């Protein structure tokens, strides 16, 4: 054991954390494919490599590391891989910004190269943060989705799902972001409340109300309710679209609300999902008025080339000038926007690739997974229930996984590469074989690329080693940890893909964490100035303090508000723990530890009983991922039980050095060892540092604490002992005595005597006697407290005489006062609350003070 001379007075987190970071080896965290231990494979979220590992990531990773370390200590073969989800628009935009180009200024391949280089640089930066935070990452299982070995799996999964009929190509209306110039999936549409204008205008004799007059050229019909008498005559007629002049039919549909506006609505291709529904239902023609860049198309006549906002203004102005705009009203509306850039989405009809959504299949698999917390399953179910459209997986971008197909120029057949030729970019290569249908040799490579979620939704297949040759040996993974913001996307798509490709659920459990909000309670954003950078925090208080904040901040699944005070409290906890451990280490050094020493003193047995309870609680909480509760139990034990009570009680015995000192050292050692191990998953640097003084190797290679101590009497009697000491100390304080001042004789009348080995006497500096007989105390009245605010106003000039008369009453009547009392020869009524008798006690002829601790009586004699 290290000498206490080497023990630093203060815990220097910066020095300690750096030293251990240099000592620890990556190999200790590698998943062992040959291991006989049970596996615990984690489907870690692959973050987007922005270069900054933000505080939300940090929270997520802290949770993962807590249970990864815990499961290792519990004897599992843990895989905690680290992925990077590289593809996507934000990197494209950044590359354009940094190089002052647009994506069209260079070749597709050159542009991809620039994106890859930026991504690699960012990943390197983020790896450093992961290491600083002491995450026990399995670096042998790192994956980068833009690398050929990963995206060839994405392509393989595409080909397999194409072959099994899950994937198809179709011209279909999809959500489209005209700023990003790409289709997006429903899950990528966010909704915002905006104020807009409802415009009432004359449509060939009937009134129509619309929020989107710019879609007038896209009008393909007018719909009315079949039972609406106002429009009975219009049945089977056509109407002329104002300003544009084309004729459209009047259709009848139950879904029209006769009470909204005039009860007649125009159907455009496409204003919203309802339009798409009617368009299909009534077999209407398609009029495309907005192109992929958000500009009005040629069928818009004089408005061609305008943006939709410009077109709206121009059409309203023209409606006014021809006198058909009747009125305008303000309207609150929910608008679907692109989740990345917030541009309102359009519904455009394009040729796209889709994945069929089989709701029941996904629902069944979701139900076979255990959700933490349970209510998150509901969110998944609600999302599944509201799915109406298939998942659009094609994107019109560049930095993404290419869709590995060609189209035969002659017959239009879709031709795919051989699986062994993956990865494949069909824009750069040609198929090996002629067209199987027509024998043609002319092909066009697919230019569309895959949605980034197509990469990340097979993360679990990748980490479990899927290569298309069947279900991997270690599939499914044990757990998926992720934020609640990506249940509709990452969780949903991952389940869909696992079921489609393997026929079973992807994980046994899913753990859903909340979001980190700024100190002001709002989502962190640059514009609010409430962003917290993990690096800054780690620099000021250390990685352990940040980790502890993450553990204690909130219950699982709840959003967590960032607070500097919580981080400071975490760093204070380490200071206090260090002081406790330092005290213990000095004791251990004096004459060594006898781990088999008999544990005799009540306080020692009590400490072990409470430690045993704590271990049980913490273990149960860890099993349920209730990290806040686990750490709370550890802290209560360390502070309340160990520091504030046990050490205070045992200190004297440890200093006195008598025979039972060995017992105290032994239990102190047990608590020290167990605390280090229980803290190891949460604050790995601190736990490692403290444990290193025991010279027993790394705490991270120890098994989880399995300590039990079955001694119910020790718990109840020890609790009493602690309470008695606390009450007598309070009595000392209330009587103006110093805590170490001598106190004479203290007698405790308890149901059992306590073998306290003199702890109570030393702690209270008193002559302490534990007795099991009943206390024989004579109660004597030692004075009377008069309530002057009652006595004064009631008796006025007779007040003095009243008080004298009361003092003369026998003790029995003081306790139960009569209704009246004789004062100056008359009977006066005794008001309520006029006085309370004061008592003192006499025990074996000596005056004593009495303290009650529940049913237990404690007397103090000879106090001076």
C-beta of 162 vs 435, nearer to Zn ion: 435
Task: Please identify, among the stretches 274-282, 297-305, 347-355, 440-448, the one whose residues bind Zn ion according to the rule CB under 5 A.
Answer: 440-448
Which of 440, 744, 758, 862 touches Zn ion (CB under 5 A)?
A: 440
Residue in 21, 437, 572, 730 binding Zn ion, rule: CB under 5 A: 437
- The three-class DSSP label of residue 537 is helix
- Within 13 Å and on the Cβ side, how many CA atoms surround 848? 24
**Which among 311-319, 409-417, 492-500, 647-655 is the span making contact with Zn ion, rule CB under 5 A?**
409-417
Query: Contact region for Zn ion (CB under 5 A) — 66-74, 136-144, 344-352, 401-409?
Result: 401-409
Record the tokens describing residue 279, joined without a space: 């368009």
Interface segment toward Zn ion; rule CB under 5 A; list 39-47, 378-386, 411-419, 615-623: 411-419
| Count of C-beta atoms within a 10 Å radius of residue 393 | 23
Q: Rank residues 317 and 438 by Cβ distance to Zn ion and give the closer one.
A: 438
* Chosen residue from 224, 380, 435, 857 binding Zn ion by CB under 5 A: 435
What is the smallest separation between the CB atom of 562 and Zn ion, expressed in angstroms? 28
Among 331, 341, 555, 846, binds Zn ion (CB under 5 A): 341
Cα 757 from Cα 601, distance rounded (Å): 6
Whole-angstrom distance, CA of residue 569 vs CA of residue 583 = 21
SS (H, E, C) 354-405: EECCCHHHHHHHHHCCEEECCCHHHHHHHHHHCCCCCEECEECCCCCCECCC
Q: Are 91 and 452 in contact (CB under 8 A)?
A: no
Do 145 and 358 touch, CB atoms closer than 8 A?
Answer: no
720 contacts 750 by C-beta, under 8 angstroms: yes
Largest Cα–Cα distance of the chain, in whole Å?
A: 133
Nearer residue to Zn ion within complex by CB, 413 or 559: 413
Instruction: Candidates 1, 255, 322, 411: give the one binding Zn ion (CB under 5 A).
Output: 411
- Cα–Cα distance for residue pair 574/682, rounded to 1 Å: 12
CA separation for the pair 301, 323 (Å, rounded):
20
- C-beta of 190 vs 368, nearer to Zn ion: 190
Choice between 319 and 400, CB closer to Zn ion: 400
Stretch that binds Zn ion, among 37-45, 236-244, 339-347, 582-590 (CB under 5 A): 339-347
State the Cα torsion 552-553-558-562 to the nearest 10°: -160
Residue closer to Zn ion (CB basis): 180 or 537:
180
Binding pattern for the stretch 156-185 against Zn ion, x by CB under 5 A and - elsewhere: ---------------------x-xx-----
Among 277, 356, 358, 410, interactor with Zn ion by CB under 5 A:
410
Pick the closer one to Zn ion by CB: 374 or 444.
444
Element (H, E) at 68: helix 55-73
CB of 428 to Zn ion, least distance (A): 21
Q: CA geometry: angle at 806 spanning 805 and 810, to 5°?
A: 105
- CA distances (Å), 610 to each of 482, 587, 600, 621, 661, in order? 35, 21, 16, 16, 20
* DSSP assignment of 323-364: T-EEEEEEEEEEEEEETTT-PBPEEEEEEEEEE---HHHHHH
User: Does residue 408 belong to the site contacting Zn ion (CB under 5 A)?
Assistant: yes
Residue 81 CA to residue 68 CA, distance in Å, equals: 11
Residue 240 or 441: the one with the smaller Cβ distance to Zn ion is: 441
Determine the Cα–Cα distance for residues 456 and 493; give it in Å rounded to an integer. 9
Binds Zn ion (CB under 5 A): choice among 96, 413, 485, 727: 413
Residue closer to Zn ion (CB basis): 413 or 589: 413
Site for Zn ion in 174-233 (CB under 5 A): 177, 179-180
Measured from the CB of residue 410, what is the shortest distance to Zn ion in angstroms?
A: 5
Measured from the CB of residue 178, what is the shortest distance to Zn ion in angstroms? 8
Rank residues 438 and 811 by Cβ distance to Zn ion and give the closer one.
438
Closest approach of Zn ion to the CB of residue 182, in Å: 8
Looking at 86, 134, 338, 377, which residue binds Zn ion (CB under 5 A)? Answer: 338
Q: How many residues form the binding site for Zn ion (CB under 5 A)?
A: 15
* Distance of alpha carbon 493 from alpha carbon 500, whole angstroms: 10
CA distance 206 to 663: 96
Q: Which is nearer to Zn ion, 343 or 427 (CB)?
A: 343
x/- string (CB under 5 A) for Zn ion, residues 751-790?
A: ----------------------------------------
Can you spell out the DSSP letters for 279-301? HHHTT------B-TTSBB-GGGG
Closest CB to Zn ion among 345 and 791?
A: 345
Residue in 98, 438, 586, 846 binding Zn ion, rule: CB under 5 A: 438
User: Quick one: which segment of 343-351, 505-513, 574-582, 629-637 binds Zn ion (CB under 5 A)?
Assistant: 343-351
- Strand-by-strand arrangement of the 325-338 sheet: 206-210, 189-203, 325-338
Task: Select the span of 2-10, 231-239, 338-346, 577-585 touching Zn ion (CB under 5 A).
Answer: 338-346
292 vs 686: CA distance, rounded Å? 56
What would the x/- binding string for Zn ion be over residues 480 to 509, using CB under 5 A? ------------------------------
Place of tokens 């833009």: 146
Residue with smaller CB distance to Zn ion, 177 or 362: 177
Which window, 335-343, 344-352, 660-668, 710-718, contacts Zn ion (CB under 5 A)? 335-343
Nearer CB in complex with Zn ion: 142/413: 413
Q: Which residues make Cβ contacts (< 8 Å) with residue 128, sequence separation at least 6?
A: none
Which residues are near Zn ion by CB under 5 A? 177, 179-180, 338, 340-341, 343, 408, 410-411, 413, 435, 437-438, 440
């Amino acid at each position: 054991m290290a000498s206490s001379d080497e023990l630093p007075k203060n815990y220097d987190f910066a020095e300690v954390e750096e030293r251990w970071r240099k000592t620890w080896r990556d190999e200790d965290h590698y998943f062992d494919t040959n291991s006989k231990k049970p596996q615990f494979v984690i489907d870690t979220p692959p973050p987007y490599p922005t270069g900054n590992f933000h505080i939300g990531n940090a929270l997520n990773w802290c949770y993962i590391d807590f249970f990864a370390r815990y499961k290792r200590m519990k004897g599992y073969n843990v895989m905690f891989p680290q992925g990077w989800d590289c593809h996507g628009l934000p990197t494209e935009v950044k590359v354009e910004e940094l190089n002052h180009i647009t994506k069209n200024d260079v070749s597709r391949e050159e542009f991809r190269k620039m994106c890859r280089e930026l991504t690699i640089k960012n990943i390197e930066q983020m790896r450093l943060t992961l290491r600083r935070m002491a995450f026990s990452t399995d670096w042998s299982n790192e994956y980068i989705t833009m690398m050929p070995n990963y995206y060839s799996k994405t392509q393989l999964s595409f080909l397999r799902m194409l072959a099994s009929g899950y994937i198809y190509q179709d011209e279909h209306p999809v959500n489209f972001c005209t700023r990003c110039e790409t289709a997006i999936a429903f899950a990528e549409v966010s909704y915002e409340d905006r104020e807009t204008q409802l415009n009432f205008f004359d449509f060939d004799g009937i009134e129509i109300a619309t929020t989107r007059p710019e879609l007038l050229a896209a009008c393909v019909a007018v719909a009315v309710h079949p039972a609406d008498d106002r429009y009975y005559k219009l049945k089977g007629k056509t109407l002329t679209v104002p300003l544009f002049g084309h004729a459209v039919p009047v259709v009848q549909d139950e879904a029209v609300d006769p009470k909204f506006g005039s009860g007649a609505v125009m159907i455009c291709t496409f204003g919203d999902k309802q339009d798409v529904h009617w368009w299909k239902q009534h077999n209407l023609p398609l009029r495309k008025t907005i192109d992929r860049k958000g500009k009005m198309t040629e069928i818009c006549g004089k408005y061609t080339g305008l943006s939709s906002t410009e077109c709206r203004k121009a059409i309203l102005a023209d409606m006014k000038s021809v006198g058909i705009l009747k009125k305008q009203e303000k309207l609150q509306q929910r608008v679907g926007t692109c989740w990345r850039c917030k541009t309102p989405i359009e519904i455009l009809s394009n040729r796209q690739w889709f994945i069929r959504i089989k709701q029941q299949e996904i629902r069944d698999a979701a139900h076979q997974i255990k959700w933490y917390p349970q209510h998150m399953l509901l969110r998944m179910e609600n999302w599944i229930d509201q799915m109406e459209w298939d998942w659009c997986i094609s994107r019109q971008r560049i930095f993404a996984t290419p869709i590995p197909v060609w189209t035969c120029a002659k017959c239009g057949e879709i031709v795919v590469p051989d699986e062994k030729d993956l990865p494949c970019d069909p824009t750069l290569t040609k198929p090996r074989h002629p067209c199987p249908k027509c024998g043609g040799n002319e092909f066009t490579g697919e230019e569309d690329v895959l949605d980034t979620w197509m990469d990340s939704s097979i993360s679990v297949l990748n980490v479990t080693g899927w290569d298309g040759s069947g279900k991997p040996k270690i599939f499914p993974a044990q757990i998926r940890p992720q934020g609640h913001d990506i249940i509709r996307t990452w969780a949903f798509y991952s389940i869909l893909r696992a079921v489609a490709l393997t026929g079973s659920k992807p994980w046994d459990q899913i753990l859903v964490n909340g979001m980190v909000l700024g100190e002001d309670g709002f989502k962190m954003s640059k514009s609010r100035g409430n962003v917290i950078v993990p690096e800054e925090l780690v620099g000021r208080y250390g990685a352990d303090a940040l980790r502890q904040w993450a553990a204690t901040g909130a219950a699982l699944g709840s959003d967590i508000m960032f607070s500097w005070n919580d981080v400071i409290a975490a760093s204070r906890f380490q200071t206090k723990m260090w002081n406790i451990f330092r005290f213990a280490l000095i004791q251990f050094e004096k004459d060594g530890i006898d781990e088999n020493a008999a544990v005799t003193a009540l306080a020692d047995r009590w400490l072990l009983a409470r430690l045993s309870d704590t271990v049980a609680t913490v273990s149960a909480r860890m099993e349920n991922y209730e990290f806040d509760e686990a750490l709370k139990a550890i802290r209560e034990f360390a502070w309340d039980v160990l520091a504030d009570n046990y050490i205070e009680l045992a200190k004297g015995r440890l200093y006195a050095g008598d025979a039972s000192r060995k017992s105290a050292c032994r239990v102190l050692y047990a608590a020290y060892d167990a605390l280090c191990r229980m803290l190891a998953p949460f604050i790995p640097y601190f736990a490692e540092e403290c444990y290193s003084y025991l010279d027993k190797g790394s705490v991270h290679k120890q098994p989880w604490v399995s300590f039990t101590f079955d001694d119910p009497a020790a718990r109840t009697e020890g609790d009493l002992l602690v309470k008695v000491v606390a009450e007598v100390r309070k009595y000392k304080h209330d009587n103006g005595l110093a805590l170490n001042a001598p106190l004479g004789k203290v007698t405790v009348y308890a149901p059992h005597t306590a073998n306290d080995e003199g702890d109570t006497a030393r702690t209270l500096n008193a002559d302490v006697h534990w007795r099991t007989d009943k206390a024989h105390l004579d109660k004597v009245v030692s004075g009377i407290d008069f309530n002057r605010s009652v006595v004064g106003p009631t008796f006025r000039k007779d007040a003095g005489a009243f008080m004298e008369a009361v003092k003369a009453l026998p003790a029995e009547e003081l306790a139960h006062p009569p209704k009246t009392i004789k004062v100056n020869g008359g009977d006066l009524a005794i008001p309520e609350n006029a006085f309370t008798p004061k008592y003192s006690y006499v025990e074996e002829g000596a005056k004593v003070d009495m303290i009650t601790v529940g049913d237990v009586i404690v007397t103090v004699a000879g106090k001076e």
